[in-house]
Structure 1
């Protein structure tokens, strides 16, 4: 039995990510796969640690771990490669993501130096980029190289993607989908498609219009599975599990005592 696991929208919540990954088995079967669907940074305080962990996991299991980019990584890359120097940085709430790349003392020294020198907002942004580059050049290079790969992962039965695809043209979706749709598509689409589509980006509460899906996977009853559980609110990174032999999907609910319970999601392969 081969299993495909997928998670998305970790958003800097390192401990929640590790808790969910404890459910993933990549060792008992070398064909098992783990697909990360993007949005690893912003909102939580440990974005840098999350990125390093995913990078190292991919290096440890190069044929089993697939890492896609989300729109938050794209904005971050645009910022530190100076393609869009101010847009992402100007939206950084309390500098949580930037802070995660420095120790507390390092960050305070940077702030102190820029204030003493009376640097402009643009100059502060550029200085932050330069200091991150000094410390994390390999991590940045790894992220940038991800832009060269496909923004989706396709199997015989599924399309894994951060946000979505253009579904109207069915079998021509690879050519009909605009580049930004893969990571920015909104609103979330539901209904039947010839393959199952597994995506994050839009919270399961938003897609389902039902608060009971906070921290859980939402299946629309047809071909769409959404797995952004709003970790900032729920404290949970949902995990979707797919059994390639039976075609069954399942996920996990977390009990009050911290243990996980697996449950089946009703889905019959067509």
Structure 2
């Protein structure tokens, strides 16, 4: 149990965050939006802002953070029928568990027994780890693209609403369109957990309308899952502290619901003739295809080496490395951490002399356009004669790319936080 003194200190820290880091981020957003008034975001830990759900054997464990100390409740529904009702004692942080039901879709209703404003609902899609979507898709008319949201939930919602991807209730409203997020949901910003739960459900909403949400893995997803927590925002660290776990444990690829879901996501995606990656596709990846790279990623993420990457005791036991030699381990390290990997490559955005390399990659993958995030630039723009789009504006989640299929090509537009889309200015000729 967390002591009363520790809880008080933790929530005092939360108040400090609101007055410092969050306020600073809000002022920055005001400047980025050209001085337009934007309401200061509210620091929240309740509901899906601080929800942690994981499976252990045949049980599902649910932990949430209340706005105020008091008794809590958890109601479990399947098929619109209440299966279990659980009460938790007075506290700020609550945990309850239930036996995993037979059905895969489970609705959780949870929160404070005393405060009607602190009651929430989340749908779990158990078994989602078995749903690895194909990373090659065709026949899509409209593709919305957002890069590197970095925990800025408020801006992401505003951006998607302006593009009519979601409605005023934050429900999918884009029909058969596809939404691509280019990775780096994690780190820097305060609402990573909330964004992940939002996308987790939005994915299913889109599928019901025959649309799709594609979340690619970026370097910051890999960093957190492998225990590199240097860039986790103070508020996100606070959530883990209140749950009394290491932050990466909240996204454990073997037990946590969000971690298992993230482990099904690709590093490279092809829609129509457009290739998407977080960092970029360097010539090092010419031996791959989109499916073989996805198979490699999935295989590596299932291994004990990936799961225990940051555990020094794991590496000192030779029994854990049976079947691996130094070359095998180096391949995995390079795949996830090398500067030329799909998670880290910046070459096409930072240099203007790689046209031949880019064209070789596009030919190999049967594409005519590569869209990347990772490397921030002042605005979404085209490079290399339009063969590459750098989609990561310097301010996270303040611009969105729209690609509209027109025959064999795609018309290219840029959305901001408000106003209609504008055509993407043409690129200079490739060197």
TM-score, length-scaled by structure 2: 0.44
* 2:246 corresponding residue in structure 1: 129
Task: Describe the superposition over 1:181-203 as per-residue Cα deviations: whole angstroms up to 9, x where unpaired.
Answer: 12122333553433211110111
Query: Which fold has the larger relative contact order, with Cα–Cα distance below 8 Å and residues 6 or more apart in sequence?
Result: 1
Matched, 1:143 2:253: no
Question: Counterpart of 1:53 in 2: which secondary structure?
Answer: helix
Separation of aligned partners in 2, 1:254 and 1:198: 18
Task: Describe the superposition over 1:214-262 as per-residue Cα deviations: whole angstroms up to 9, x where unpaired.
Answer: 2x21210231111111225xxx43211111235233333548xx43442
**Displaced runs of 4 or more, over 6 A:** 135-139, 175-178
Distance 1:161 1:264, change over 3 A: same
**Is residue 186–residue 232 contact of structure 2 (8 Å, CA) maintained in 1?**
no
* 2:114 corresponding residue in structure 1: none
Pick the structure with greater CA Rg.
Answer: 2
Report how far residue 179 of structure 1 moved: 3.0
Distance 1:230 1:143, change over 3 A: farther
* 2:403 corresponding residue in structure 1: 242
Separation of aligned partners in 2, 1:127 and 1:240: 39
After superposing the two structures, state which structure 1 stretch, 12-21 or 191-200, moved more: 191-200
Separation of aligned partners in 2, 1:156 and 1:260: 25
Question: Counterpart of 2:402 in 1: which secondary structure?
Answer: strand
Separation of aligned partners in 1, 2:284 and 2:248: 45
Distance 1:160 1:253, change over 3 A: closer
Matched, 1:97 2:260: no
Structure 2 unaligned regions, length at least 5: 1-139, 166-171, 297-333
Distance 1:69 1:131, change over 3 A: closer
Structure 1 unaligned regions, length at least 5: 80-87, 111-125, 206-213
Matched, 1:50 2:195: yes
Matched, 1:201 2:363: no
Alignment of 1:156-167 (within 5 A): 156-167=272-283
Task: Describe the superposition over 1:154-202 as per-residue Cα deviations: whole angstroms up to 9, x where unpaired.
Answer: 1231111111113377585656996331212233355343321111011
Separation of aligned partners in 2, 1:29 and 1:48: 26
CA RMSD of aligned residues (A): 3.5
Alignment of 1:243-262 (within 5 A): 243-246=404-407, 247-252=409-414, 254=416, 258-262=418-422
Separation of aligned partners in 1, 2:248 and 2:371: 37
Distance 1:253 1:169, change over 3 A: closer
Distance 1:252 1:148, change over 3 A: closer
Report how far residue 139 of structure 1 moved: 9.5
**Is residue 251–residue 263 contact of structure 1 (8 Å, CA) maintained in 2?**
yes
Separation of aligned partners in 1, 2:144 and 2:412: 10
Question: Counterpart of 1:197 in 2: which secondary structure?
Answer: strand
* 1:2 corresponding residue in structure 2: 141
**Is residue 142–residue 404 contact of structure 2 (8 Å, CA) maintained in 1?**
yes
**Is residue 52–residue 139 contact of structure 1 (8 Å, CA) maintained in 2?**
no
Separation of aligned partners in 1, 2:157 and 2:222: 23
Matched, 1:179 2:342: no
**Is residue 8–residue 228 contact of structure 1 (8 Å, CA) maintained in 2?**
yes
* 1:66 corresponding residue in structure 2: 214
